[in-house]
Amino acid sequence: MSARKKSDTWMPIFIGDYLADTMRLSTIQHGAYLLLLMEYWRQGPLVDDMDELCAVCRTDRKTWDKTIWPSLSRFFEKKDDGLLHQKRADNERANAAEKKVKRSEAANARWGKKECKDDANASGMHEQSTCKGDDTQSSPLPSSLRSETSLTSFESERAQNPKSEKSKRACRLPADWRPSPEMAEFARSNGVDPERTAAVFRDYWVGVPDPKGRKADWNATWRNWVRREDGMQPIPQRTAPSERRIAVNAAWAGVPDIEGV
């Protein structure tokens, strides 16, 4: 029992071959044979135990001995392992097991290639990875040479694709974004109200779809936004009244109220 391996729950049935071999079976014999084949597919060769086979076929021993097994026994052969074998079922289970191994190996190969790709970290340094199962292994190098080699490889990659680093760092503006104290001071120095401008800036960029809504440097985007003239009103400046304005106010102060005349 322990030597029998379970197979997948899907079982192939070649209808033409099946009917050609079972034309003289009765309805109850067909049902019993199919149940035996299903058990065979899941567990492997059947045990030579009539009581257990009766349980598999959901029948009683009398019906099994008289009606079922005399017709089905010709499909099975008892071998040296003491189990009942069916030649076609053994071949199909072997084919299914081989296909499963090949699918597993192909999946492992795909994942192995993916894991072998070098990823650069934020500082521009990355270590070379080794594929699992590769026949060749990289020779050990001193740490200083490894760092230099990795840096040279990364700089070469950046030279070939200068936009790759920026595109990897691009992100969307957070919905609760607020300018830092330095960015707020930059706005004031340009005559722009940082609070009101930040609200307009945030609402605009949160609503912009990808990819335009992603920026690599939001501080730079904020500074360019502040420098724009359209839609940016300077903070009102309070100035001391001029001498002429003071004189006009004084003159009007001496004029009597017309309604009181």
The 10s digit of each residue's pLDDT in 174-187 is 989 999 999 999 98
Separation of alpha carbons 213 and 206, rounded Å: 7
* Distance (Å, whole) CA 122 – CA 125: 7
pLDDT tens digits, residue range 147-177? 444 445 545 555 565 554 445 578 999 989 9
Query: Is residue 260 domain-resident?
Result: no
What is the rounded distance in angstroms from the CA atom of residue 86 to the CA atom of residue 72? 11
pLDDT tens, residue by residue, 58-111: 999 999 999 999 999 999 999 999 999 998 889 888 888 888 888 888 888 888
Residue 178 belongs to some domain of the structure: yes
Assess if residue 26 is contained within a domain. yes
- Expressed as residue numbers, the domain containing 99 is 1-119
Q: Are residues 33 and 97 in the same domain?
A: yes
Please state, in angstroms and rounded to a whole number, the distance separating the CA atoms of residues 194 and 186: 9
Q: pLDDT grade, residue 239 (50/70/90)? A: low
Q: How far is residue 247's CA from residue 250's CA, in Å, rounded to a whole number? A: 5
Residue 259 clears pLDDT 80, i.e. is over it: no
Does residue 107 sit in the same domain as residue 3? Answer: yes
Q: Specify the pTM.
A: 0.39
pLDDT tens profile 121-131: 544 554 544 44
Separation CA 132–CA 111 (nearest Å): 10
Three-state SS at 85: strand
The set of residues, in sequence order, having a beta carbon less than 8 Å from that of 43 and lying 6+ positions away, is: 4, 6
In the predicted model, what is the mean pLDDT of the chain?
76
11 domain residue, yes or no: yes
Domain finish residue from 56, 89, 119 = 119
Are 60 and 69 spatial neighbours (Cβ–Cβ below 8 Å)? no
The closest alpha carbon to 85, from 46, 124, 112, 33, belongs to 46
Structural domain count of the chain: 2
Helix (H, G, I), strand (E, B) or coil at 13: coil
Q: What is the pLDDT of residue 149?
A: 46
- Asked whether residue 104 falls in the same domain as residue 12, the answer is yes
The answer to the question of residue 245 being in a domain is: no
Q: Dump pLDDT digits (tens) for 21-37.
A: 898 999 999 999 999 99
